[in-house]
Amino acid sequence: METLRIELAQKNRKIPSLQNHLYKLMEKYDNEMKSLRSEVERGRNWCTMEDRCKSINMGPAGEKDKVLCQLSDSDHLQHPNDLKPMAGLMYRGTENKCCFNMCYKNATCLVGFTDKGYKCVCPPGYTGDHCEKDVNECSTKTHNCDVNAECNNTEGSFNCSCKVGFNGDGRICTDVDECNNNTHNCDVNAKCNNTEGSFNCSCKVGFNGDGKKCADVDECTTNTHNCDVNAECNNTEGSFNCSCKVGFNGDGKKCTDLDECNNNTHNCDVNAKCNNTEGSFNCSCKVGFNGDGKKCTAPDGDVFNKMYVCMSYDIPRPILCWIMDFLTNRKQRIKLSRDCFSEWEAVPAGVPQGTKLGPWLFLIMINNLSVADTIIWKYVDDTTLVESVLKNESSYMQLRVNELVRQSEVDGFQFNESKCKELRISFSRSGSLFDHITINDKQIEVVSSARLLGVIVSNNLRWNAHVESIWKKAAKRLYFLKQLKRAKVPSDDMLLFYTICIRPVLEYACPVFHHSLPQYLSKEMERLQKRALRMIQPDLSYAEALVAPDIASLYERREIFCDALFDQIVRDENHKLHDLLPPRNEPTYRTRSQIYFKLPICKTTRFKNTFIMANSFNY
């Protein structure tokens, strides 16, 4: 090139030279060199310094000192020091190679910058000299896809798509909760656990499997349960339950032996002894009886040879002999006058019930008498069965009656069905719906009240009927008081008669009815006593008559009697009514708002007015 430069300079002394520039003419560009030489001959010059810089000097310009050889058209005024002015020459811009636009893909063509005379500025997604090559943003990692997205290269660009388990536009992807959206495929007996971009399934307790399919685990067969050794294991769907075997009590996890003997749930004969065993019981007939324990019968012979029952009470032998004579071949007759008697008849009830010894001997007869050993039938009088049935429970009264009838047949007793009554006391507003009790296929009459130990008990637990009954009975006995007055019996004797024969009738079972006694009945009873005292002491007013010794109003006497009886019950722990006493202190409870209160013991007026409860409040 330097040789060419010198050669050109020698041919045309007017051709300018460029400081710090190089002429770049290669042999392979023969056509260009020929063209250049022709241009030089016409007073033109091709100047080049670098690949990106090109310029051309032209011939005479006509303007003095304005001839320049520029680096490029865009900055021909930025490098004036690199150009030397020469007379007779002018500037002409470089040839615009972009007219032919060799760039692809809508690239921008810039003139100059390279030895080709142009440069392609590629749009995003393309590269190469002519922007002919696609840029793979996925491979070069120049994309902006989310880490949880797939990058897909396209012509001149790319797109992003979220991976399975994620939602979004590809630039931003969020986890899909398949568990909450119920788009999982876990088994109904499995638990779905959401994970980043996916989920997993785990079988619930009591099931086995991969989570997609779960099968029930039979804890009973695999012996993975925690039931007691005395319980039955019952497999259920996904779990199991335990139930104590017959003869045991508990929740199945822990079972304790059920003492059928103490709980009286055995079926041993009344003449048998119950022996509790682990999970069961056995029965053995008592001494003097034969059988398997479920049924025990007395051996043939004298019915009273089983006096061991009496011996257990430490009764002297002479008394036992007297009892045997007393119970053997019993007969009775009625004396009408000194020399007039009725015929001897067998005692229908066995022993007189009016004596204290009678009931005790009567029990011995029930336990020992055999039908085969006597021709005398005994009638069971005043036998009472009581049953308490809770809500939604069944009554077992018919079974108990049947057992009593069966036992009576064994022991030689008879029931008088016409005298048997049924009394139902219900605390439910809807009443009780129980089947009628039958004896020997005869239905027992259901009554609204019944007499028990001389007290009339009503199904509404009110004592009006009893009070009216004793009032009428006492009123009838005033007749005898009138007869004594007509006979001019002294007033002290009449007062004694009243206190012994009439007033006790008015006070019979007063602890039962005193606190619930209606006011009108209380006044009627006081009027009756007032009438009696007027007959005895007509000169005294009722208030004056009450001042006499051992005389007081019936109300005051009932109060004193009830208080004394209750005090005796409280102080004597062995008293038969002591267990009925409520706690001395009412339990204290606390609400969430820190308010303390005592829970009332009595929830109903009827209960509050009973002897124990009423005296508890007054004690």
Q: Which of 158-172, 225-239, 305-319, 421-435 has the lowest mean pLDDT?
A: 305-319
Number of Cβ within 10 Å of residue 160's Cβ equals 19
Cβ 152 vs Cβ 159: under 8 Å: yes
Arithmetic mean of pLDDT, 554-577: 83
- Say what the pLDDT of residue 597 is: 53
DSSP state of 5: H
Number of alpha helices (DSSP H) and beta strands (DSSP E) in the chain: 18, 35
Alpha carbons 174 and 166: distance in angstroms, whole number: 5
Q: Which of 98-112, 219-233, 574-588 has the lowest mean pLDDT?
A: 574-588
Could you give the 3-state DSSP secondary structure of residue 373?
A: helix
- Assign 266 a pLDDT band (cuts: 50, 70, 90): confident
Arithmetic mean of pLDDT, 157-173: 90
* Greater model confidence, 453 or 155: 155
- Say what the pLDDT of residue 329 is: 57
- Assign 395 a pLDDT band (cuts: 50, 70, 90): confident
Chain-wide mean pLDDT for the chain?
Answer: 72
Which of 525, 520, 516 lies closest to 471 in space, CA to CA?
525
- Assign 535 a pLDDT band (cuts: 50, 70, 90): very high
Could you give the 3-state DSSP secondary structure of residue 2?
A: helix
Alpha carbons 535 and 484: distance in angstroms, whole number: 10
Cβ 36 vs Cβ 46: under 8 Å: yes
Query: To which residue do tokens 């310094």 refer?
Result: 49
Alpha carbons 193 and 375: distance in angstroms, whole number: 86
Q: 584 — phi, psi (to 5°)?
A: -65, -40
DSSP state of 581: P
* Euclidean distance between the first and the last CA atom of the chain, given in angstroms as a whole number: 140
Q: Which two three-digit tokens encode residue 605?
A: 């007026």
- Say what the pLDDT of residue 129 is: 83
The per-residue pLDDT for range 591-612, each reduced to its tens digit, is 566 666 554 454 445 455 565 6
Arithmetic mean of pLDDT, 493-498: 87
Query: To which residue do tokens 């009827």 refer?
Result: 606
The per-residue pLDDT for range 132-144, each reduced to its tens digit, is 888 888 988 888 8
| Residues paired with residue 109 on neighbouring β-strands, in sequence order | 120
- Say what the pLDDT of residue 440 is: 84
Which of 402, 406, 411, 355 lies closest to 379 in space, CA to CA?
411
Arithmetic mean of pLDDT, 343-350: 52
The per-residue pLDDT for range 370-389, each reduced to its tens digit, is 333 333 334 445 667 777 88
Alpha carbons 182 and 180: distance in angstroms, whole number: 5
Cβ 14 vs Cβ 43: under 8 Å: yes
Radius of gyration of the chain (CA): 63
- DSSP notation for 243-254: EEPTTEEESSSS
Domain range 104-134, CATH architecture: Ribbon (2.10)
Arithmetic mean of pLDDT, 426-450: 81
- Say what the pLDDT of residue 359 is: 43
- Say what the pLDDT of residue 236 is: 86
- Assign 511 a pLDDT band (cuts: 50, 70, 90): confident
- Say what the pLDDT of residue 186 is: 93
Q: 487 — phi, psi (to 5°)?
A: -80, 5
Start-end of CATH 2.10.25.10 domains in the chain: 104-134
Q: Which two three-digit tokens encode residue 380?
A: 């069971």
Residue 212 has pLDDT above 70, yes or no: yes
- Assign 469 a pLDDT band (cuts: 50, 70, 90): very high
- Assign 205 a pLDDT band (cuts: 50, 70, 90): confident
% residues pLDDT > 90 (the chain) = 11
